[in-house]
Amino acid sequence: MAIAMSIQTLLFVGAAIGAFIAWRRAAAALEEAKAKAEAQVVELRAFLDRMAVTVDETARALRRGTNAADDLMTDVRDAMGTVRNSVGTVASVVSAPRAALAVGLLKGIQVWRKRRAAQRLAASAASEL
């Protein structure tokens, strides 16, 4: 019986040592996995920072473009208002039938020229494609 008890004690001591070694290996593997995960988080953070800078630059460029387009539209509206006022003033001053006919003919020629230029532009754009 003493031999069985000593064998049993040796088995329990061996199992305890094996469990301790397994626990230390598991702890070391867990530390290694934690270090790898932290390195990946740092790498992802750097990537996200670069992406945020790119998005900010794009947003600033878009804002500048929007402001330029807004300024352009304001200038066009002002010019159209000036032209409208000028045409209205000229029409009120010059109301003879010949003047009205000349103004109508001039506008017709301008519309025809614009249409022709647009058709040429469309044809050249289509031929480039």
pTM of the shown model: 0.42
Give mean pLDDT, residues 106-113: 88
Query: Which residue ranges make up each domain of the chain?
Result: 2-93, 95-129
Say yes or no to pLDDT of 98 above 70: no
User: Is the separation of the CB atoms in 103 and 91 below 8 Å?
Assistant: yes
- pLDDT above 70 for 97: no
Percentage of the residues of the chain whose pLDDT score is greater than 70? 87
What are the distances in angstroms from CA 102 to CA 84, 96, 97, 106? 17, 10, 9, 6
Give CA–CA dist 82/92, Å, rounded: 15
Nearest to 107 by CA among 121, 87, 85: 87
Ramachandran sector of residue 83 (left: φ over 0; alpha: ψ -120 to 50; beta: rest)? alpha
Q: Does residue 127 have a pLDDT over 80?
A: no
Residues comprising the chain, all counted: 129
- Average pLDDT (100-124) is 84
| Mean pLDDT in residue range 10-32 | 94
Tell me the one-letter amino acid at 70. D
